Structure 1
Amino acid sequence: MPAFDTPRADSYADELAHERAYLTAARADLARMRASAEALDASRGSDADSAAVLADVLARRVAALQDDPHTTLFFGRIDGDSEAAESRHYIGRRHVSSPSGDPVVLDWRAPMSTAFYRASHTEPMGVALRRRFGVDRGQITAIEDEHLTDQGESEASSEILASEIERPRTGPMRDIVSTIQPEQDEIVRADLATSVCVQGAPGTGKTAVGLHRAAWLLYTHRDRLDRTGVLVVGPNRAFLEHINAVLPALGEVRVEHTTAADLVAHAPAKATEPTEVAVLKGDPRMATVLHNALWAQVARADEALVIPRGVRKWRIPSYEVQEIVDELTSRGVRYDAARAMLPMRLAHAVLLRMERAGDSPDDRVQEAVAKSPAMRKYAAALWPAADPRQVLFDLWSSADRLAEAADGVLSEQEQAILLWDKAPRGKGSAKWSPADLALLDELGDLVERTPSLGHVVLDEAQDLSPMQLRAVGRRCSTGSVTVLGDVAQGTTPWATDSWQEAMSHLGKPEHHLEVLDRGFRVPASVIEFAARLLPSMAPGLGAPTSVRSNRGVLDVRPVDGASKIATELLQSVSAAMESEGSIGVIAPNAQIEKLSKALQAGGIDHGRLDADHGDDADHRVQLVPATVAKGLEFDQVVVVEPAAIAAAEPDERTGLRRLYVVLTRAVSALTVLHSEPLPGELCG
């Protein structure tokens, strides 16, 4: 008997009918559970606040019990060694129970479901049979059994699993709960306290793994993470649109999504600046410069503190005041926290003098002294309020202030390129760059601590500067993080080549690194073609391996002259539309408008993912600027002018990495149209 089989022909129809009946009954149980939740009265709360909390809990419960008619409630079954019915468990996207409370479907995140993903012939984990279900439009269409306890059988490939992985798809990214692989499951179920870094080649499912890890953590640590929160940080808004349906499909509707840019958007980013300036502003040394600039605002105590109280005046000499200031500045607390302590510390020094004079002041006297007009005026002059934008404005517009803050940190040449050539009249007229926003976030945290979340999922982390990584790290300073990325896909001038370094900037030097190099979504013909770039752009990094039986389609097509690109594009897209699935046209940013007009003239309805033309409609054909392609995938991809895509980047390495990203977006077929010669690395 093969490791994978279908039930015998004489019993297959009966087995299929039984499983379909079980699905029908499970759907009825889920509908009953949803109706029961909808009938609960949120007004039972003892007050308005508790009623609002209860209403929110009930709304999330109802949303989590929504049935999706396009899929089944379960995708697998595991049977134990026993013949008893209780040793059989159906695995699905959410828990479903019978009226008596018995489990009808186990949530894929439940501990008992682990065996469905990890059991093998060498380690069956008490599973005698693993059954997978073929599904089409919400109905069970096929059954495939794997007998794990059969002696002498080796591991085999599942046709149902392979067809689900390779199934054409349109619209947003879907969950992968039915196809999670053992190495992926280990990452998904890593403990909350563990900060995980995943180095994943294209098509290895790292993004899906990160999202499913968030869902598993919320299931396993619900009470804690409902209080502290979970955040997903992605590279751009097109990417967030692509992934935003995954967690709701798994019943998790309270996870926030944002881009790295929006995370630190404390002001509009209107300025552009040379690459060397942006790189320097993203350098981790800037943290020291900003710290020095902020704390330089604390003045030295050159005058004594004099506090009138009644007919007497109490005097604290300047040297004693300075000792208190020095102690506060060395405590490692935030600027505003230390500033708030100053009046109370000075008031305590006054009380000590009162006691030495024979008075018996209490805490009320100390508080009154701390709030007195004389104390407020003195403390404010000594320790002024800080505005991050004013601090940064002063730093970029004053050579003296920058020199003081950067002394011993930045060279004179580096300081010179940071200074504004012509300073704005005031901070209100300053035009901040994207790199400035990360610095404003750093200053904001130096002034007042940034609240930490319970867990953060950071995707495409290799593209963030050290200062951006620090900004993300602040959001999980007391929590954990799942970092996803691929150093070979780093397309910014400050992209990291070391995960150890990147994790240190995040504040997580102690972390667990996982490497995913088995490609499930990108076919072999495509990944092998793109991997020709690796030796030049990421030497030492191993090429990913496609594990799909279908090698996919690769068509590299030279075009006789740029004027004929549009004609070839129309033909390629029209041919692609004869098959199922999504189609992505990825081109140099400068050519998007021209190609859009060509598609429109050819009668091909399409969407555009550039910032000025994004819409909410679902389009089977999407026109994608090369700089937005990261993290996206399409069943069929047409890449236009790869040499121009690479040449648009500031240096050769970054250009080849951008091209590597673009070439690895295809799930089934890749067509490359070029009138310009291909980069030499691709001609091997």
Structure 2
Amino acid sequence: MEETFQSAYQEEEQRLKNTMKEVDRQLAKFTSIPVYTGHDFTEQVLEAGREERRQRLSKIVNEPYFGRLDFEEQGTNQMKPLYIGKVGVDREDYTDQPLVIDWRAPIASLFYSFTGGEGPAEYESPEGVVEGLVYLKRNIVIRQQILERVADTYNRGSDQPAVSDEFLVYRLGENKDNKLRDIVSTIQAEQDRIIRAARNTALIIQGVAGSGKTTVALHRLAFLLYQYKEQVSADKMIIFAPNNMFLDYISNVLPELGVGDIQQSTFSDWALQMLNLDVRLADTAETLEYWFEREGELPEITDEVPGRFKGSMRFMDILRSCIEQMEMTSVPDMDFSPWDGKVLPRAEIMKWFDEEYKPYPLAKRKERVMARIHRWIEMELKKAPSAAVQKERKKKASAREKAYANKWPKYEPLTLYKHIFKAAKGGSVIPDEIRKQIPQSVMKSTAADLKQNVVREEDLPALVYLHVLVNEISGEQRFDHVVIDEAQDFSPFQIALLDLFVKGHSFTILGDLSQGIHAYRGVHRWEEMSQLFAEEHNDYFALTRSYRSTMEIIEFANTILEKGVQSGITAVPVFRSGDGVRLIDYGEDSRKNALQRAMQHLIDKDYRTVSIVTRTLHEAKALYEELKTAGVEVNLIDDGKKQYEGGYSVLPVYLSKGLEFDAVIVADADQDHYGNSSWDAKLLYVGCTRALHELWLMNGSERPVYMEQEAKEVVIHGWPSE
């Protein structure tokens, strides 16, 4: 076996030398050609091709490929070794055997979909299904042009066992830094099916913690740009993430895959930019801490809770009814008279509004009608018997035209929204029968917020929808594809709204219901989203295998779900074992000293990223100050954080979603902070599943029932020996 490995290693070492020689030669050739900056169209096209070549060669100069697949296409009797990398590069003579094949190419899908067996394999090409035999599947690790590792995951001619998980475990065992990395060399078959799914489909992906949901979605964007390059563009794609720090955390993946210019935003930032609102957006932490710190049992989160109601299709229908009603009463109930003795009948104005400008949205219709009235005034002014009379009439007409325009409803979204939630008064543009469809609890809480000029996140979909109903969606505002991460915290209303902006229902919607800690406004079942689309326009995938944490951490987290949430969703771990989960009482130590001692112990183990997770932001801030005073170098992660800096951190559990750390300490994992509700269990589950290698849970009082686990290989009570 050792002899076989040495032979394979030597073969790949020689191939790497040959590849680098060819890459260096091509790169030298294309960089030696002066960049053309003239105006000749033919030369510009040639220069664009040369620049693309330079870029691709530069991207592979240090790590040209990561995999090899030996494939014999049926009917050819010729086996070809195919080397697969992040970027494809042709040989200089443009033969049919590329130097490196792009991982997104149809034939490269075999590298991910083929899992062994003696039978034929197939892939979908533009010409149809291609069938053949796989003889070798090999993972290769190259760093800085140095061959570090060779691992065969399938060899048709060998009697040695496959080691597919061995290579995966090797890559998963690496410590993390402050950025998410691409997984192009370790994409699994079930992930690849999602990445290569058809474009005009709303994909809904339920993925357990650590299943690679986010990276799969990012790789899907790269694939769509490759596969549909004539139909989609990067600047017409957008990723919606839970917060700006998370956007920074994932910011390296797409550039590593050779993709740039994709828009990245939170839903709140996107909505506020579109609306250009001057309001105070309620802090997420304020809302969460209101729910987290309630005394007694949490209230049942029904569809009448303000956040859930405002995220419902029912509310969307109510808003549409409001605008339809407003349309019927928009034109002032009066004739228009620019000066005494001259009248433009309301019937004529209504004809313009209801017939000629009917295709336009309300704001545009008002604009067109008022422009038409202005032109009518100008024509009538020309009939004045003298310049003096004309001047006098013009002055009166200007004032009356302005007064008449003010009698129309104001079509600003926030003004319309305030009309809906203010107490009914005579002449209101919103009839009582529509307003009565809104629960009183929602009416009261929203009216109180708006009186203080406060808007909450759950108000933003309604405000954008009102904007859409009375204005046009411009071409620049439309998307070719939308990715929504942590989608369990989105509402059906948000998805339906974004569907108005995206072509062909092209979505990648991903999340985990077990991490639904914003249940007061998010979805409780994926059917709430899938039913928004026709059956042929949506698809559902479940990713149940977790690649992030050790078996011990995943088994511990699964028990929290089984006992505390009972959702039926649990993770299947990759076979990667580590230390047991530690349950530690503060004991005689003060809380601060115990947490400081725990963090120092993990720091001493040379982990790059260690975090203490608290229940609330208030607790995180207080602990951060205590640790800083004690001389511990830590970062505080709060709602205002724009960048994840890695290293050692303190943060509230709700901001940890989507992030991962080498080691995690859950502070105050006790009954006082995490009760026995399913919501408490979900919060604790989120905190636990951030850990890759070690998980410690510290407590100062009795632990919740769903933490009681006895398996010695999973749980260790007490401090490690020092």
Same fold (TM > 0.5): yes
1:247-278 per-position Cα deviation (integer Å, ceiling 9, x unaligned):
00000011111112212124343446777444
Q: CA deviation at 1:15?
A: 1.6
After superposition, the Cα gap between the structure-2 partners of 1:32 and 1:231, relative to the gap in structure 1 and judged at 3 Å, is farther
Conservation of the 8 A alpha-carbon contact between 1:534 and 1:543: yes
| Equivalent residue, structure 2, for 1:96 | 89
| Equivalent residue, structure 1, for 2:314 | 285
State the alpha-carbon separation in 2 of the partners of residues 129 and 98 from structure 1: 22
Q: CA deviation at 1:484?
A: 0.6
Aligned length: 641
CA RMSD of superposed structures (Å): 4.2
AA matched with 2:561: L
Query: Pick from 611, 625, 637: which aligns with 2:652?
Result: 625
Where does 1:473-622 land on structure 2 (aligned, <5 Å)?
Answer: 473-492=499-518, 493-504=520-531, 510-535=537-562, 538-560=565-587, 563-588=590-615, 589-601=617-629, 603-612=631-640, 618-622=645-649
State the alpha-carbon separation in 1 of the partners of residues 565 and 692 from structure 2: 23
SS of the residue aligned with 1:445?
A: helix
| Stretch moving more, 106-115 or 472-481 | 472-481
| Stretch moving more, 214-223 or 405-414 | 405-414
Conservation of the 8 A alpha-carbon contact between 2:201 and 2:505: no
Q: Does 1:437 align with 2:465?
A: no
Where does 1:163-202 land on structure 2 (aligned, <5 Å)?
Answer: 163-202=170-209
After superposition, the Cα gap between the structure-2 partners of 1:337 and 1:478, relative to the gap in structure 1 and judged at 3 Å, is farther
| Equivalent residue, structure 2, for 1:469 | 495
After superposition, the Cα gap between the structure-2 partners of 1:141 and 1:46, relative to the gap in structure 1 and judged at 3 Å, is closer
| Equivalent residue, structure 2, for 1:25 | 21
After superposition, the Cα gap between the structure-2 partners of 1:421 and 1:539, relative to the gap in structure 1 and judged at 3 Å, is closer
| Stretch moving more, 53-62 or 619-628 | 53-62
After superposition, the Cα gap between the structure-2 partners of 1:412 and 1:598, relative to the gap in structure 1 and judged at 3 Å, is closer
After superposition, the Cα gap between the structure-2 partners of 1:25 and 1:608, relative to the gap in structure 1 and judged at 3 Å, is farther
SS of the residue aligned with 1:211?
A: helix
State the alpha-carbon separation in 2 of the partners of residues 146 and 198 from structure 1: 27
SS of the residue aligned with 1:673?
A: strand
State the alpha-carbon separation in 2 of the partners of residues 608 and 476 from structure 1: 37
Conservation of the 8 A alpha-carbon contact between 2:206 and 2:541: yes
Conservation of the 8 A alpha-carbon contact between 1:566 and 1:595: no
| Equivalent residue, structure 2, for 1:367 | none
Structure 2: 5+ residue stretches without partners: 123-131, 292-304, 375-396, 710-722
Q: CA deviation at 1:597?
A: 3.8
| Equivalent residue, structure 1, for 2:300 | none
AA matched with 2:280: A
1:126-165 per-position Cα deviation (integer Å, ceiling 9, x unaligned):
3211111134555212222244545998765342232012
| Equivalent residue, structure 1, for 2:105 | 110
AA matched with 2:174: R
Where does 1:73-472 land on structure 2 (aligned, <5 Å)?
Answer: 73-81=64-72, 87-102=80-95, 103-119=98-114, 120-121=116-117, 122-125=119-122, 126=132, 127-136=134-143, 139-150=146-157, 156-226=163-233, 229-265=236-272, 266-267=276-277, 268-271=279-282, 276-295=305-324, 296=326, 298-299=329-330, 302-303=333-334, 318=347, 322=350, 325=353, 334-339=361-366, 380=405, 386-400=411-425, 401=428, 404=432, 406-407=434-435, 409-412=437-440, 414-420=442-448, 423=451, 430-450=453-473, 451-472=477-498
Structure 1: 5+ residue stretches without partners: 348-371, 425-429
SS of the residue aligned with 1:669?
A: strand
State the alpha-carbon separation in 2 of the partners of residues 645 and 99 from structure 1: 68
State the alpha-carbon separation in 1 of the partners of residues 637 and 209 from structure 2: 20
1:582-624 per-position Cα deviation (integer Å, ceiling 9, x unaligned):
32222232232343344445554333322356657x4422322
After superposition, the Cα gap between the structure-2 partners of 1:251 and 1:136, relative to the gap in structure 1 and judged at 3 Å, is closer
Conservation of the 8 A alpha-carbon contact between 1:566 and 1:598: no
AA matched with 2:653: A
1:295-337 per-position Cα deviation (integer Å, ceiling 9, x unaligned):
42643564467999xxx9997673x765775568986x63234
After superposition, the Cα gap between the structure-2 partners of 1:394 and 1:407, relative to the gap in structure 1 and judged at 3 Å, is closer
State the alpha-carbon separation in 2 of the partners of residues 74 and 227 from structure 1: 24
AA matched with 2:560: L
Q: CA deviation at 1:680?
A: 1.2
Q: CA deviation at 1:216?
A: 0.5
After superposition, the Cα gap between the structure-2 partners of 1:529 and 1:78, relative to the gap in structure 1 and judged at 3 Å, is same
Q: Does 1:41 align with 2:52?
A: no
Q: CA deviation at 1:90?
A: 0.6
AA matched with 2:512: D
After superposition, the Cα gap between the structure-2 partners of 1:422 and 1:383, relative to the gap in structure 1 and judged at 3 Å, is closer
SS of the residue aligned with 1:212?
A: helix
After superposition, the Cα gap between the structure-2 partners of 1:152 and 1:412, relative to the gap in structure 1 and judged at 3 Å, is same
1:152-181 per-position Cα deviation (integer Å, ceiling 9, x unaligned):
987653422320122222120000000000
SS of the residue aligned with 2:148?
A: strand
Q: CA deviation at 1:343?
A: 7.4
AA matched with 2:485: D
1:484-511 per-position Cα deviation (integer Å, ceiling 9, x unaligned):
1011110111221221212445899831
After superposition, the Cα gap between the structure-2 partners of 1:254 and 1:286, relative to the gap in structure 1 and judged at 3 Å, is same
Conservation of the 8 A alpha-carbon contact between 1:196 and 1:514: yes
1:622-679 per-position Cα deviation (integer Å, ceiling 9, x unaligned):
322212100001122222112479549xx93322212111110111111112223222
Conservation of the 8 A alpha-carbon contact between 2:613 and 2:666: yes
| Equivalent residue, structure 1, for 2:691 | 666
State the alpha-carbon separation in 2 of the partners of residues 603 and 54 from structure 1: 60
State the alpha-carbon separation in 1 of the partners of residues 321 and 36 from structure 2: 56
SS of the residue aligned with 2:179?
A: coil
1:395-418 per-position Cα deviation (integer Å, ceiling 9, x unaligned):
334434466373452245543443
SS of the residue aligned with 2:230?
A: helix
After superposition, the Cα gap between the structure-2 partners of 1:523 and 1:545, relative to the gap in structure 1 and judged at 3 Å, is same
Conservation of the 8 A alpha-carbon contact between 2:672 and 2:701: no
Conservation of the 8 A alpha-carbon contact between 1:282 and 1:468: yes
After superposition, the Cα gap between the structure-2 partners of 1:494 and 1:421, relative to the gap in structure 1 and judged at 3 Å, is closer
AA matched with 1:669: E
State the alpha-carbon separation in 2 of the partners of residues 610 and 569 from structure 1: 20
Conservation of the 8 A alpha-carbon contact between 1:454 and 1:479: no
Conservation of the 8 A alpha-carbon contact between 2:208 and 2:569: no
State the alpha-carbon separation in 1 of the partners of residues 59 and 235 from structure 2: 28
**Identity fraction in percent:** 23
Q: Compute the TM-score of the two structures, normalised by the length of structure 1.
A: 0.81
State the alpha-carbon separation in 1 of the partners of residues 179 and 671 from structure 2: 28
After superposition, the Cα gap between the structure-2 partners of 1:158 and 1:315, relative to the gap in structure 1 and judged at 3 Å, is closer
SS of the residue aligned with 1:67?
A: helix
Conservation of the 8 A alpha-carbon contact between 2:135 and 2:155: yes
AA matched with 2:566: P
